Amino acid sequence: MGERTRDDAGRPRNSRPRDALGRPLPPGSAGVPRIPDDLRLSAPEYLAYAQDLLDRGLAFNAHEVLEAAWKDRPQDERPLWQGLAQLAVGVTHIQRGNSSGATALLHRGCAGLAEVTRPAPHAVDVDGLIAWATDLTEAVGSVDASPDIPPARLRPRLTCG
């Protein structure tokens, strides 16, 4: 087994290229640009970046941005960012044809967002996202094999307005 790439602090980093759905590619392959491990943005910048990625069908990359926010933002915002990241992973599972994984992550994302006080910080449309994910979960659950969900339905609006 090969050595993993590590950062200056000794933490492992996965430097393998990935496809548009976040699946690892063989070393040396061309993949989509990676989200930097040390990404640090303001809350509105995290949301705008993740929204742009979702709008382009890059839910896995949006998940990485939201996960960076989850690790970077204040502890009291953790359910918000974690819930958003889990919704993005749920979309990734739908894109990969994994209905059971999608359902599980969409449920977890909704549970996390349900903990967020209202009105939600940073104008995040928590109630709208929970409704969207609940409807999407029902659609995914009604399909026996790989769900045929239109791409536009996999691009939720993260914020109000």
pLDDT of 143 above 70: no
- Domains of the chain with bracketed CATH: 42-154 (1.10.3450.10)
> What single letter denotes the amino acid at residue 110?
C
Nearest to 42 by CA among 86, 77, 8, 85: 77
Within its chain, how far is the Cα of 154 from the centroid? 11
Q: Kindly report, residue by residue over 35-59, the tens digit of the pLDDT.
A: 888 899 999 999 999 999 999 999 9
Please state whether the peptide bond connecting residue 119 to the residue before it is cis, i.e. omega within 30 degrees of 0. Answer: yes
Task: Quote the pLDDT of residue 6.
Answer: 61
**HEC per residue, 6-72:** ECCCCCEECCCCECCCCCECCCCCCCCCCCCCCCCCCHHHHHHHHHHHHHCCCHHHHHHHHHHHHHH
pLDDT of 112 above 90: yes
Within its chain, how far is the Cα of 101 from the centroid? 13
Q: Kindly report, residue by residue over 58-89, the tens digit of the pLDDT.
A: 999 999 999 999 999 999 999 999 999 999 99
